[in-house]
Amino acid sequence: MEQFVIQGGLPLNGTLAPSGNKNAALPILAACLLTEEPVKLKNVPLIGDIFTLKQLLESIGATITPESDHTWVVQAKSIVDHCPDPSLCKHIRASILLAGPMLARHGKLTLPPPGGDVIGRRRLDTHIIALQSLGAQIKGTNPFRIETTRLHGSDILLDEASVTATENALMASVLAKGTTKLRNAASEPHVQELCHFLNSLGAKITGIGSNMLTITGVNSLHGGTHTIGPDYLEVISFIGATAVTGGSVKITNASPHYLKMAHLVFSKLGVSWTIQDDNIIVPPNQDLKITPDLDNAIPKIDDAPWPGFPADMMSIAIVVATQSEGTILFHEKLFESRLHFVDKLISMGAQIIMCDPHRCIVQGPTILQAETLESPDIRAGMALLIASLCANGESTIRNIHQIERGYEDIENKLTSLGAKIIRSS
């Protein structure tokens, strides 16, 4: 098992560009199953979860040909297997995204339970209810045996604004007969990008960016070319790392229009940045102070569906709060195990009180001390890496494949900014 050894206390300075958005690339790769024609995808992030989904698609008959490191040509002309490899499915949550396109084009799928980050219960009920509303029959749960003679349009109210359930319902309904109304739909940037991608292949989706999508079914989709947008979660990670190390970084091609809520939230922690065209510039030596609410009340940061503050940013914000002067409450509403990584920050010297599985209070600033750490999931792993960058001494992070499932070439990107990170076995 590989690990990172990180020398803390070095400011990050320089320029870098984020990789393609993992959360957009995964459903877009799955959506290539909807057409027999080739689809060229550019700016594909070369990360663990993408390679796992690539293997899954190839195992059922799709061909994926790299034209260059970040450009792949995907073609699903014929499907030879309707049961993806269980050993691959258990490593990735995105395996559930095969359900929508396989039903829409091929009418059946036997799907083992998906895996992914262990951050609490991650319901599949919303997926199943949406697919049943479109005419699918579900038999069994381990594995799921899903069949249909023909999907038909429906008026669907999702019981929660689930991103992957929205994506599955979208992919299933683009080839369904008739019109589908998808209410309480997720509207995150990667959901919007999937909609635009599907429309570029001939789908008819309107209401993009809202919580009600209208999908008019078509008989078939054609091939095309799509460039995957930048990963805004990676952008926020670099902003947080720059702020806590006291450096100054320019992030190019950052799509700052997706970061308005993040800017509001991080400004509560004293973090600021400026926008120059499509670039973000983080100034040096920021005065990290928590802004209290009116009447000097302790402020709160909580997550919510888009355009609220994304749950995946919570771990980064908590680390920044340990370096900000003042007290703040974090409320993680979605996953009951997301905050369990904070015990590792406490072992580094952070002053954090766990109120319950969903809430913690952070008092800062504290000088973090180097520690030997485990990476429990993608976002917590990146948060611990940021904490190590600003800690005193030399930290070790084990189990780094968790970080590399979501962040491409992370140690080289950070070392190009002046960090000292050594990979070892």
Place of tokens 């100054």: 248
How many other CB atoms are found less than 10 A from the CB of residue 310? Answer: 24
DSSP letter for 295, please. G
The packing angle between helices 163-173 and 189-200, to 10°, is 10
What is the rounded CA–CA span in Å between residue 18 and residue 4? 20
Q: From 267, 269, 306, select the one nearest 290 (Cα to Cα).
A: 269
Residue 141 identity: T
DSSP per-residue letters across 47-92: -HHHHHHHHHHHHTT-EEEEEETTEEEEE-S----SS--HHHHTT-
Residue 100 identity: G
Asked whether the beta carbons of 316 and 382 are under 8 A apart, the reply is: yes
What is the rounded CA–CA span in Å between residue 214 and residue 212? 7
Start-to-end Cα distance in the chain: 6
What is the rounded CA–CA span in Å between residue 20 and residue 230? 5
**117 among known catalytic residues:** yes
Catalytic residue among 49, 81, 85, 117: 117
Give the catalytic positions in this structure. 117
